[in-house]
Amino acid sequence: MKKLFISGFEFVRENPRIIYSLVLLVFVPAAFFFNTYSLISGMEQDIDRITQRKAILTEKIINAIASEKMSDSKLLQNTLDSIMKDSRDEILSLAFLRSENDASRFRVIASSEPETMDQVTEDVQYMLAWNRPEGIAFLDSDERGRFWRVTRLLYDDTGTMKTGLVTMTFSLRDSDALIESTVNNSYGILMATVIIVLLLVSNQARLFGNVLALNRLKEVDVMKDNLVSMASHELRSPLTAIRGYLELIEEKKIGFDEEAQRYFTNISISVDRINTLVNDMLEVSRLEGNRVPLTLTDFDPHPIITQSVEEARSQAMQKGLTLNIKNATPGMIYADPNRLCEILSNLIGNAIKYTPKGTVSVSTDIKNDQYLITVADTGLGISAEDQKQLFQKFVRIQNEQTRSIAGTGLGLWITLELVQKMGGTITLESIEGVGSHFTVSLPLSDKR
């Protein structure tokens, strides 16, 4: 128990914001309890006052009925019995008394309690009531519950001569039952409130744990980005040196036999692959950290499309592919020229890589205030299942036809991110074994 308490204290100390939840745990039920207690207390007092007025009014009515019958005890008793029969247990007792010995003693001449008939009493309550025209009333209780005991004077027909007293006990049982039911319901609601608050606090404690884990993940993510960035930059230097030596060897046309030439070619290909991977990793790191500089401007995309096609033409010719621009729709777009060049390089490069034979073409169009650039190929195509995850990081189409094709699985993810950052979209239409159409939509300059 002590260990659990210490652990809880340490958790609160490390996460002071949870004190707010603990305060709520105490304050909400307490506020609810005091509010309910105040309402019930006020309601009880109001009910008592209403019941008191009701008892006094009832006694006034009885007074009016019985005043003229004070001289006839039997008739008075019949009237009393009739009243008690119709009272529905609200009147616990009712009695009429006549004063004796100058109002120092009172005799019961009619009563709902037969055992009190003809008794003589010197009750102080009756003496006080005899001298107070408005009568007296006070709250009392016994095994029957709480009740109002009301005593009033009776006058003769002229309203000047005192003829006796009427005393009545008016039950508060129904109102007390209502109050008790309200109190029990309030306690039930209070318990439910406490449980709900406890659940909320418990859930918030778990959320705090999740927040801590999330913060830790963010720290790890930042460390990962820093590591990737540092490693990529560190790799670039030796790669640049290796690439420089390879170009120097090629320029000097150093003679190689067939086996050495194959080794040289493999080294060059490997350097290109590593360089592509490093560049992609750097781009991913910048995109995830929102550190990619964008210079959005109005320009004609056709020169960039032409340039991108020309840069890839030698790669297409090596595979015996036809690479062309089908049409050049005039128009001005609002985008970043350098990023558009990167997008086209990725899409055209992928089209060439995954097209064993046939054609790769670039076409443009304008639809719905968007400038469309479509890179189409007659290559391997992509299945509907593979299309669902194609634009995710490190996802590549894995089958016997693509196993020998080099790639990082980052190019399309980078392309998607760049297109979205420029306010555009990219879509894919592809049939396996027939080819693929990648369409980039960018906003027109006058429609942005």
Annotated domain spans of the chain: 13-171, 180-286, 294-443
Report the percent of the chain where pLDDT is more than 90: 19
Of 373, 366, 362, the closest CA to residue 340 belongs to 373
The first and second tokens of residue 15, run together, are: 């996460």
Q: At residue 329, does pLDDT exceed 70?
A: yes
Query: Would you state the pLDDT for residue 399?
Result: 66
Residue 167, classed as helix, strand or coil, is strand
Mean local confidence (pLDDT), 88-116:
84
Q: Which is higher by pLDDT, 298 or 67? A: 298
Q: At residue 276, does pLDDT exceed 90?
A: no
Confidence of residue 373 (pLDDT cuts 50, 70, 90): very high
Burial track 13-36 (b if 16+ CB lie within 10 A, e otherwise): eebeebeebeeeeeebbeebeeeb
Mean local confidence (pLDDT), 34-57:
66
Mean local confidence (pLDDT), 303-311:
93
The first and second tokens of residue 297, run together, are: 């401007």
Query: Would you state the pLDDT for residue 299?
Result: 94
Does CATH place domain 180-286 in 1.10.357.10? no
Mean local confidence (pLDDT), 163-172:
84
Confidence of residue 255 (pLDDT cuts 50, 70, 90): low
Parallel/antiparallel/unpaired status of strands 145-155 and 162-171: antiparallel
Q: Which is higher by pLDDT, 368 or 259? A: 368
Q: At residue 426, does pLDDT exceed 90?
A: yes
Q: At residue 377, does pLDDT exceed 90?
A: yes
Confidence of residue 362 (pLDDT cuts 50, 70, 90): very high
Place of tokens 């009237």: 79
Query: Would you state the pLDDT for residue 232?
Result: 64
Euclidean distance between CA atoms 343 and 339, whole angstroms: 6
Query: Would you state the pLDDT for residue 442?
Result: 94
Q: Read out DSSP for 354-421?
A: T-SSSEEEEEEEEETTEEEEEEEE-SS---HHHHTTTTSTT----STTTTTS---S-HHHHHHHHHHH
Euclidean distance between CA atoms 310 and 151, whole angstroms: 115
Query: Would you state the pLDDT for residue 59?
Result: 60
The architecture in CATH of the region 294-443 reads 2-Layer Sandwich (3.30)
Q: At residue 266, does pLDDT exceed 70?
A: yes
Confidence of residue 363 (pLDDT cuts 50, 70, 90): very high
Please tell me the class of the 13-171 domain: alpha beta
Q: At residue 11, does pLDDT exceed 80?
A: no
Q: What is the pLDDT of residues 59-89, one digit of tens each?
A: 666 665 665 566 777 888 887 888 788 776 7
From residue 23, give the alpha-carbon distance in Å to each of 16, 186, 212: 12, 21, 21
Q: What is the pLDDT of residues 189-225, one digit of tens each?
A: 778 777 777 777 676 666 666 666 777 777 766 666 6
Q: What is the mean pLDDT of the chain?
A: 79
Euclidean distance between CA atoms 267 and 246, whole angstroms: 9
> What single DSSP character describes residue 68?
G
Q: At residue 346, does pLDDT exceed 80?
A: yes
Query: Would you state the pLDDT for residue 283?
Result: 74
Query: Would you state the pLDDT for residue 214?
Result: 72
Query: Would you state the pLDDT for residue 78?
Result: 83
Place of tokens 């693929």: 436
